[in-house]
Amino acid sequence: MRVANETVVSIDYTLKDERGNVLDTSEGVGPMEYLHGAKNIIPGLEQGIEGLTAGETKSVVVPPALGYGEYNEKLIQRVPLDRFGENKVEVGMRFHAETNIGMRVLVIRHVDEKEVVLDGNHELAGKTLYFDIKVVTVRPAELTEVAHGHPHQAGGCCGGGGGGGCGCSDQESSSEGCCSTEESSQKKDGGCGQGGCGCSH
């Protein structure tokens, strides 16, 4: 069958930047499974995979607007160093913080004696992404998968200590609270990237 909305697809992929540096790959960790049409993955990649069948390979080029968005200067903040108190502050450290556009992952870009420069952009924001993908399997989604907006593995949603394909607890899975749409959209920004759930891997 072909990849379409309400199919569960697993792909092998390698993601490179414009210079050919490998940014991410499924090699060594196994194929990534997602629910097509449920915004589990970035729009440009989803569009590129649409209509393929198992075994097909494709190179998909994703511009920033269909990937992780354009780089936004407004997401750069300068914060006095003393605001961090006793906390360790080093370039490259990342943490979650409330900002004027909601919860973001912030990365420390620069530190000097007086201030810390924080960047709330996704690390792939502003980048054109070069994917080489191979469709491994395509199957119809179960009704519960469509309802939850993510694929399940054997054992159902969130079953078997996280082996259900998402990181939500069993408690949450009994209601709509499991991997809700709201959480899924946060996940997209937070860079979870896998499983289609709201967890932060």
Contact set with Zn ion (CB under 5 A): 148, 157
By C-beta, is 36 or 148 nearer to Zn ion? Answer: 148
By C-beta, is 31 or 156 nearer to Zn ion? Answer: 156
Minimum Å gap between C-beta 157 and Zn ion is 3
Minimum Å gap between C-beta 149 and Zn ion is 8
Minimum Å gap between C-beta 156 and Zn ion is 8
CB 8 within 8 A of CB 35: yes
CA count, 13 A, side-chain hemisphere, 150: 32
CA distance 113 to 25: 38
Q: Which of 129, 150, 154 is nearest to 25 (CA)?
A: 129
Minimum Å gap between C-beta 178 and Zn ion is 5
Residues 6+ apart with CB under 8 A from 41: 32, 34, 193
By C-beta, is 64 or 156 nearer to Zn ion? Answer: 156
By C-beta, is 104 or 148 nearer to Zn ion? Answer: 148
Tokens 């399997």, residue located: 137
Tokens 């991410």, residue located: 24
Minimum Å gap between C-beta 198 and Zn ion is 11
By C-beta, is 90 or 154 nearer to Zn ion? Answer: 154
- Give the residue at shortest CB distance from Zn ion: 157
Q: Which of 98, 90, 86, 85 is nearest to 117 (CA)?
A: 90
SS3 130: strand
Strands 22-25 and 115-119: unpaired
Minimum Å gap between C-beta 196 and Zn ion is 8
DSSP 156: B
By C-beta, is 119 or 145 nearer to Zn ion? Answer: 145
